[in-house]
Structure 1
Amino acid sequence: MRTYLPAQLLPLAQRTGRWTIKKDRDDPVLYTTNLGSYLRCRVTGTSQLVFTISNRHSPLGPGQVYAVRVDDQPWRRFAAQPGKIGLSLTPGAHTVEIMAAGNTDLDAVWSGKQGFGIRSLAMDDGGTLTAMPGRPVIDFIGDSITAGCWVAGRHAALDYRPESNYAAICADMLGADSVRIAYSAGGALRPATGGVPVASTFLRRIDQETVWTPNHPQLVVVNLGVNDRRYPLPQFVKAYDRFIHQVTTTFPGATVDLLVPFSQHFRDQITTIGHHYRLRVIDTTGWCPSSTDGLHPDQAGTTIAGHHLAQAIVPDLAKKV
């Protein structure tokens, strides 16, 4: 079989996630700490496709999960534990996507190297792998709701759905590539799970030892704040203001839109800060009519939110393309 290693895969993944190359048991892996990061490519002339993946999860929690989609058909989910994901394909050209789709708050993604890793992609000897044509890029910055946690229920990893949460649905509707910069429980003041620090730090890094070189999106959507609700209001205002300034300077060529959290926490404060920076603040009242736990949208709720967001941001994306 013909095998593509991480160094060959990295250029194909840089538009669709925060990926880097790391060593795992002395072998390189295409590595990310972000749920919703994916590899999107075109494969031609092969009847089979085999992803070899790592499963560097915490032994105290369930294993990691990946999602795979071929030619925009429904996503299929695979446990990482076997270490391989095999697909059978018909002759011709196919669009293939593989996404980091499930982990747990126990996975030490920041300092313990317990993120997601793709070791290789193999196909028939006559097969070829090429990059997909460029599309508009949207960066989604947020917390567990943006990462896609708890969409299908209350079981960590198994019930996460970054492939079908509001960010994914919005990007699909607009024909855009997306980069997820989101961690469970994170906020402007509150550190995220997995050892991940606050948003001002995780924006700049993939993990403790890896600086992220910012990409060049047409649009950045920020959905943060709900996890800061237990901090004093003046502290939140100061921290959120600093973070939005950081976002605008990190992505100087992009339009930046701020979402009021679906829970409506800090609605007035986020609106004031957005207007100070001359940014659009998007009203999300009524966007998520159903949830799994009173806070995280379920599949029906997040689908509705994705449709609303796509309708709201299409003018901002169109003027940048």
Structure 2
Amino acid sequence: MKQSRYTETTANGCFSGAYFMGRWIQNTILNQRTMYTTNLGAAILLMTKHTDCLNLKFLSTTPTARFQPEIAIFIDDDPELRFKVNEVPDELHIKLKGPHLIRIVFAGNSDSDEIWQQSQGLAITHLSVPNPGVAIPVKPAGKTIAFIGDSITAGCWVLKRTPSSGYAAEQNYAAQTARNLDAQDLRIAYSAAGLLRYGTGGVPAAPRFIKYIDFETPAPQYHPDVVVINIGTNDRRFDSSLMKIQFLNFFHELQDLFPEATLNVLIPFNQSFAKELRELAQENPSLFFLIETAQWTLTFTDQAHPDLQGSAIAAKQLTNALLSHYGSDYFKITC
């Protein structure tokens, strides 16, 4: 993390020294006050000064699960530290007391986690630095990009075919694209979900999950500059003419939900509904920008999910497509 690409900001949660990037809410779980999210890729950002220690406590929301949720912690530009949530040390020690940029990312979970009805997402109950240390909220200095999709966008199966530890929401194509553009990463994606198909963990289809954090909690209002949509891979069993209507309705919903943003639609990497999306782009030229992906030479963990190398390739291709479409000045940091 380059310090010049981040800017100080105000805290936006129940911990004074941190910025919560992505879809987080304040929630009481097991009688404890938490900051809570159901979205892989959601992150906590802060700068520490005058301390070599960060105090952290996460709530174990899936105590009996075989595959525990995992977080990735980045300290400056050092390699990431990866922890299972139930094994995160109460005190994270840093080498020096100088200023450090810290990013904590919800990196992995399991499809069996009941995130929609049983609060089995990620919950943090404490974050502080000991005196005389200082924690300062920071955020990426550029635009805000909302990435909407399924397991590919969430960051599943990037490293290997093992739940949670095989996921890498902090390294998938969405995360890398946001970092390439110094942008905030607003991740809205769930495993196995589609426009019509429900996801795992009780998650409904996309027209519902874009507006809710769980079955009863509306998502906070966000104001992204750019929306990137990569959905449809899991809807292949549905009729193409029906899906064309669903895509159009969904794009209009997103336009209403994020009126200040522009829409960009990726043809799914497996080319599902490519014909229908091209037709919609021709029929609705001002509604969204269509990004072709057929020539992206991706590599995969399986036949659907880009691996680490494939994620880097997809991020480079998407970054170039967005820079070409908007112009490099659009993403340039001016302050």
Query: Is the TM-score greater than 0.5?
Result: yes
SS at structure 1 position matched to 2:19:
helix
Mean Cα deviation higher: 59-68 or 271-280: 271-280
Preserved contact between residue 296 and residue 317 of structure 2 (Cα < 8 Å): yes
* 1:159 counterpart residue number: 166
SS at structure 1 position matched to 2:199:
coil
| 1:48-197 correspondence runs (5 A) | 48-57=53-62, 59-84=64-89, 86-89=91-94, 90-132=96-138, 134-197=141-204
Preserved contact between residue 38 and residue 98 of structure 1 (Cα < 8 Å): yes
**In 1: Cα distance, 2:215 partner to 2:127 partner:** 27
1:319 correspondence with 2:330:
yes
* 2:256 counterpart residue number: 249
Mean Cα deviation higher: 73-82 or 137-146: 73-82
- Residue number among 270, 274, 293 corresponding to 2:302 in the alignment: 293
Provide the aligned C-alpha RMSD in A.
2.0
**In 2: Cα distance, 1:82 partner to 1:60 partner:** 14
- The offset of 1:272, in angstroms, is 2.2
Letter in 2 for 1:311: N
Mean Cα deviation higher: 159-168 or 117-126: 117-126
Q: 1:72 to 1:139 in 2, by over 3 A?
A: farther
* 2:38 counterpart residue number: 33
**In 2: Cα distance, 1:97 partner to 1:223 partner:** 25
SS at structure 2 position matched to 1:111:
coil
**In 1: Cα distance, 2:227 partner to 2:157 partner:** 23
Preserved contact between residue 47 and residue 124 of structure 1 (Cα < 8 Å): no
Preserved contact between residue 108 and residue 195 of structure 1 (Cα < 8 Å): yes
Letter in 1 for 2:223: H
> What stretches of structure 1 move > 4 A for 4+ residues in a row?
none
* 1:18 counterpart residue number: 23
SS at structure 1 position matched to 2:174:
helix
Deviations 1:62-86 (A, max 9, x none): 1110000011332221111135354
| 1:236-275 correspondence runs (5 A) | 236-275=243-282
Show structure 1 runs of 5+ residues with no match: none
SS at structure 1 position matched to 2:101:
strand
Name the TM-score, length of structure 1 as normaliser: 0.93
Letter in 2 for 1:51: L
- The offset of 1:9, in angstroms, is 5.1
Show structure 2 runs of 5+ residues with no match: 1-10
Name the TM-score, length of structure 2 as normaliser: 0.89
**In 2: Cα distance, 1:56 partner to 1:98 partner:** 18
Q: 1:10 to 1:214 in 2, by over 3 A?
A: farther
Mean Cα deviation higher: 72-81 or 102-111: 72-81
**In 2: Cα distance, 1:127 partner to 1:286 partner:** 50
Preserved contact between residue 10 and residue 19 of structure 1 (Cα < 8 Å): no
**In 2: Cα distance, 1:153 partner to 1:227 partner:** 20
**In 2: Cα distance, 1:199 partner to 1:10 partner:** 33
Q: 1:220 to 1:85 in 2, by over 3 A?
A: farther
SS at structure 2 position matched to 1:210:
coil
Letter in 2 for 1:183: Y
**In 1: Cα distance, 2:92 partner to 2:301 partner:** 32
**In 1: Cα distance, 2:134 partner to 2:44 partner:** 15
Q: 1:314 to 1:262 in 2, by over 3 A?
A: same
* 2:8 counterpart residue number: none
Letter in 1 for 2:46: C
Preserved contact between residue 142 and residue 224 of structure 1 (Cα < 8 Å): yes
**In 2: Cα distance, 1:5 partner to 1:171 partner:** 20
Preserved contact between residue 58 and residue 106 of structure 1 (Cα < 8 Å): no
* 1:308 counterpart residue number: 317
Preserved contact between residue 50 and residue 133 of structure 2 (Cα < 8 Å): yes
Deviations 1:41-95 (A, max 9, x none): 1111111112111221273431110000011332221111135354222122111
Preserved contact between residue 55 and residue 83 of structure 1 (Cα < 8 Å): no
SS at structure 1 position matched to 2:87:
coil
**In 2: Cα distance, 1:301 partner to 1:106 partner:** 26
Letter in 2 for 1:126: P
How many residues were matched structurally? 316
Equivalent pairs: percent with the same residue? 34
